[in-house]
Amino acid sequence: MTTDMQQAFETRVRNSYVALNAKQFDVILANWVEDGVQRCTGRHALGGERKGKHAISAWLQRAGRLMPNWRFDVENVWVTGTPDKADVLVRWTLTDLDPVGNPWHAHGMSYARFVNGKIVEQDLCLDSQAVAEAFAAKAKAGLEEAAAAPI
């Protein structure tokens, strides 16, 4: 991939995180193939593996409900491959608010494999302990879904 193509891909990825912060899930899902696979580390309501756009959509909706004030700050984007087959790694920091309004943070990385411009596979590796603790506090405060089994 040429430098110009890498820059264009990086811009596309960064714009996806802008859409994610705005909870524009239709924009996010437009980047996926129908039978894509998404995994998230940790034993919490967002952990585990999902297959297919419908399950990924349900996961995004749940994530939005559990973290209504989320913000992903993208720190780095790495792109390798060709426009037909690209690997993308994104390093970010997630910030949300706990039940009393204090911010909490989870650092993480996302790996995505693109084929023909669409995501076929994504792995989210994050500070799952921070997420589990934040969700436990939210469940204790009455947000039952924070203690739900993964989708």
Identify the residue whose tokens are 């969700």: 135
C-alpha to C-alpha distances, 17 to 11, 20, 21, 37, 74, nearest whole angstrom: 10, 5, 6, 19, 8
Strand 85-97 with 71-81, pairing: antiparallel
Residue count (the chain): 151
Predicted local distance difference test score (pLDDT) of residue 1? 62
Predicted local distance difference test score (pLDDT) of residue 45? 97
Q: Which positions ≥6 away from 8 have C-beta within 8 Å?
A: none
Angstrom distance (rounded) from CA 46 to CA 106: 14
Distance from the first to the final alpha carbon of the chain: 36
What's the predicted TM-score (pTM) here?
Answer: 0.94
Tens-digit pLDDT profile for residues 26-65: 999 999 999 999 999 999 999 999 999 999 999 999 999 9
Angstrom distance (rounded) from CA 52 to CA 67: 22
Q: How far from the centroid of its chain's Cα atoms is residue 5's Cα?
A: 23
Predicted local distance difference test score (pLDDT) of residue 140? 96
Residue numbers in the chain where pLDDT is lower than 50 = none
